[in-house]
């Protein structure tokens, strides 16, 4: 039987990136993994994932959750390193 770990392993995203999408879209990790994988294969989709993570960082800072914002920033740095097209829009 396929589980969430198997699905996450089939995407081009890390678990942290999937978690950021899930947080941003208020969906479970399975749906976030599917959405993220879809976005990574459409025009400007990587840029949209980049925007989601940035919006999550801003929201965490607004709530005063600097630790969570730092975690998301680390996710963003990895995402841009792995997908440089995301920064270009």
Tens of pLDDT along the chain (89 residues)? 887 788 888 899 999 999 999 999 999 999 999 999 999 999 999 999 999 999 999 999 999 999 999 999 999 999 999 999 998 75
Counting the structural domains of the chain, the total is 1
Q: What is the pTM of this model?
A: 0.91
Task: Please report how the helices 29-39 and 45-62 are oriented relative to each other, as an axis angle in degrees rounded to 10.
Answer: 140
Cα separations in angstroms, 66 against 29, 71, 79: 23, 9, 20
Asked whether the beta carbons of 20 and 13 are under 8 A apart, the reply is no
Q: Which domain holds residue 43?
A: 4-88
pLDDT of residue 87: 85
CA-to-CA distance for 18 and 14, rounded, in angstroms?
6
């Amino acid at each position: 039987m396929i589980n969430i770990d198997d699905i996450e392993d089939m995407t081009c995203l890390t678990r942290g990136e999937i978690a950021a999408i899930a947080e941003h879209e208020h969906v479970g990790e399975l749906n976030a993994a599917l959405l993220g994988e879809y976005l990574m294969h459409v025009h400007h989709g990587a840029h949209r994932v980049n925007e989601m993570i940035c919006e999550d960082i801003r929201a965490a800072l607004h709530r005063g959750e600097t630790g969570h914002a730092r975690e998301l920033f680390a996710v963003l740095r990895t995402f841009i390193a792995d997908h440089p097209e995301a920064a270009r829009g």
